[in-house]
Structure 1
Amino acid sequence: MAEKKPTGEMDDIENDLANLARLAAAESNEDTRLLLARLVRKYRQQRPELAARLDQSLKASQTRSAGNSVLRRGAPVVEPNEAPLPVDGDSRLALIRVFDDREGLAPPILPGSVHDAIGAIIRERQERERLAARGISPTRSAILVGPPGVGKTLSARWIASALGKPLWVLDLTAVMSSLLGKTGNNLRAALDHAKKHAAVLLLDEIDAIAKRRSDESDIGELKRLVTVMLQEVDQWPDSGLLLAATNHPELVDPALWRRFDLVLKFDAPDAAAISVAINRFLGDDRKIFESWINVLAAGLQGQSLSDVERSINALRRGHALQTAPIEKLISSAIGQRQEALSKIERLNLAIELAKTGQHTHMQISQMTGVARDTIRKHAGPSPRKGRGLK
């Protein structure tokens, strides 16, 4: 009698272990460690014992990697979390800051197009061998563009976490020096170190070191930094990943844009993203504020996700300490945004407030500036009593 073929969860485990064995047999050390890290996260909840054993193997492989791994270009690889960071010769400050989110990180709240592009970057790294078999290299570099607080740095951390690596971030306060030539030396030291260790490196606020060379207000030293950056992006090895971020794309030298494999544009969050963010940021207090979520989403329109998080955290603190009734806490959370809302956004806020049944149309009109007749037209009759948002 033929042996019954395993199905479901066991089938999934068998496939994962077969892929792991294939990478190990091919001596693809880096890809083996990446897959191990992914499997540890995958099975941590459902199969904790298996995840623990895989994690032990991962840590053992990382310890051995400094002496055994080799980049395609011939440079020895040391796992980024184990490598001593380069420092400025005078201040002794580390030129690189580290975010290590390998234990887990909530995925960023992103527009669909950006989310898909980031997913593609991660998948290319996870399936490098498949691309290499066709003579294709994965994305080596990407620049993240958008206003503050829309998730650029968090996205970089998410990419590194998904790849089982820490994120290295160039620390401009340590790199920049008043001494002629020192900034360029620091920059090269940090970039060379990241390449050597196949790191995921983020150049945050890249406009500070890669300004337009036509900007006459900058000294020659800063203009030379642009040349350094052009060379580095061009020559970045596909063993690592170079990310850059800017809030001011108009300041970045035009020649640099063409060097990056990918440009990701982050827009201000829309209503759907704001609502998702509020639900996430409320955490364990979601049930308490459940009836107010639509009001908060309407009132916080136009804010960045980081601003939304600050507002929700202040709301939760106020409720925990019982500093005011919940209606006043809501009013405080959205009150500062009133003048910035458009006419349509004010109307949406008024409608959501009316739906709660907690306030009269007069109170809502005083708060939002929307006429009572308009509120009545869209939301129906006013309740007889309202607790008030004073």
Structure 2
Amino acid sequence: MLFRNCKRALLSLAIVSLLGATTVHAQTTRDRAERSGKSSEKQEIRYPDATREEPKAKGSPKLQSKLQKLIDVYNKDDFAATRAQADELLANSAATDYDKALAAQLASQAAYNTDDTPGTIAYINQALQLNALDNNSHYQLMYMLAGIQLQEDQLAEGMATLDRYMAETKSQKPEDLILKGQALYQQEKYAEAIPLLKQAIESSPEPKDNWQQLLMASYAESGQTGEAVKAAEALAAKAPTDKKAQMNLASVYLQADKFEQAAAILEKLRAAGQITEEKEYRQLYTTYANMDGKEKEVISVINDGLQKGVLKPDQQTYLALAQSYYYSDQIAPAIEAWQKAAPLSKDGETYLNLAKVLWQEDRIPEAKQAAKSALEKGVKKPEEAKKIIALP
């Protein structure tokens, strides 16, 4: 299956961007006084269509100094102290629901920043259950919770949280649609993911490349190969020098059995010195191997990869090289490649093939020795090896 690496990458990006936008608004006495003189500095309403009524909850005047200290240690990135002070406030009988919700919100960020996922989830749930934060904070936390649950493969919980978020906020933001589409993709509900992904991309002034990649992957996984090719071609045309976009296009072409187009893309990358990994060389030579009359190209790619030290000199490589030499009537180098492949094989089948070719070339003593090695390593048809050994 293609492009499964999109899953966690996109979720991580969504959560990171959310954290980057997360702000804390503590209603301290000083804050209220400053806001009363600066009416223009109103907080942006991020969820104007939300069905939830903004809570009227306020903080306890007695605990304002404790809340401010909590905010201060959080802003200093002292996450251990943040959690300790937040836990004290959560346990304080004088704390209002707002005090506790704010403490839980800050503690969740501290837990997330120290890679404590269970702690993060627990604190966010506390904040949401208290239902005392403003809509911006409340729904940002809900969105974050959905993202983390999905990232942790808690698919049922994540989808439930995300469905609640979408239902209550009435959000049509591209980023939110993408997360929903990603969640559906993660559950292999590709047909349901596609319209959401398309809507997000079409409604965004600057859709991200990984959104396009996810749509392309959804098309590919749902068997809509033609649409996957169109999406991949559009991405590649947009970024002609981007290796990842070009490799994705080659992969989609291969899935669509468009071997010539895939080979052309990969050869262009090789000419530009961008084919640098073993798997990429293997992809190129196996692409040629699936095409008629391309043995010389297979040989060229394998020898290039071996000479550069990118391709491993293993059984798979030498076997492909031997077969390509053989089918292009270059018997001597084919035998040499089989001689290198045979000792590396897990069984004696490669030795048996070598023996047959040596017999064909009337190199009987060598054929007998290869047949003996084949029997020693084990073959499916030992009688064939014995027949060669018995040659006069």
Flag the structure with higher strand content. Answer: 1
TM-score of the pair, normalised by structure 1: 0.30
Higher helix share: 2
TM-score of the two chains, using structure 2 as the length reference: 0.30
Higher RCO (CA-CA < 8 Å; seq separation 6+): 1
